[in-house]
Chains A and B, each alone.
Chain A
């Protein structure tokens, strides 16, 4: 949008404390509290000791700050099977995340590029079905995929899950890249063909360097999505390589023992930390990612 300063003609408003402003900012303040309060409650709870939690008010700040729940959540909390905390899940998630993000983005970016610049007979139909695939409930495809992975010997393995993430990330990422590449002037592609570059030459020398921002957007989208996944993790891996979300659920919702709310909250925060940090660091790009993925879908 152009930066057109609007020059008011009438008399300048006298005060910022107009009824309109009080109402507007008041409403926004209440809204902000609704959204931010749960995060606040989590943080204060995770810093309290259990006796204080049992007696006190969830909104009250901790009288005595303790980091013990965090330490316990990370290294010794029990999932019912083992007691080495979330750290195992964290590293599992990292190991799942890196190849999944890489593979899904590579494939989707090549798809998007091929769909825009190298249309072949039926390519549009494949793309339409691919997009439609984004709306099929996962439950419909879950079991046959179990069979496929078993046949390939990948069931319960990390690479099986990587493959699943690549497949289910494909529709939205392909759409993202296709939309981006179709905004690149076609003449650029034509010029490169005259210059003798082929399919891969144009991809690596012309398209890839231009698409860096959209790669970042895709990365944010995928890191968040894959890190937050629960369903595929629980189905396609086995307990010792469960991703963090699955482990978190097992820790918090395990029926054995006394509920340690402070440890649970610390564990929950730890799991949410990666996407949260990514969200606050990436800021506008995150918004752009979800908007690009959603609006044009």
Chain B
């Protein structure tokens, strides 16, 4: 379980996150949505331990982040964070990189090699597996970064915009299916950010909607529909939650003009 209690995060003077309280249950796929600059990546960064919040605590499976060396080590073995833009070792081949990552997470070598082959095949990188990463396109690099996160077999996955960065339709499909299966059958906990409501609708168990650094809503899609009294798509729900004034004004505007 991931628990955030009263999180406030600043980089400078302006707070990016304010008083965030959030509890993600084990075996749940949660997506953080919201417009650009509302703190999606910052919230994920706080969960991932990249950022140290000015107030509040983050707890993962009972261990508080950065509280002690032992607690942080325990969290790092369980939780993998993948930023929007990973920096890959460009002079190594994809296979070398993936094997290195697997060894870092103490995965049995036979299992690791088989898993590497399957991931390379899944993301259509089998042929390029022994090429140096510098020769990869940006979409292939994104696939490789995703493969590295999946390879760790960590029970907690924190993925920042995993569906962006030039991922092709087959990559999108593969990632969606793998994440859903990880959650449903292996009990993994996945938290990811995405700006694309259609994708979120498809995969999310619950959705966090961020607005101005606070949680505007955190519920299932059905729950959000009830909350906003909007039976439509997530995009429409977001419109109501994020820009209620604009929606109201648009409705006013579209009324028949007097003849």
- Asked if A and B bind, the verdict is no
Interface residues of chain B, those whose CB is within 8 Å of chain A, are: none
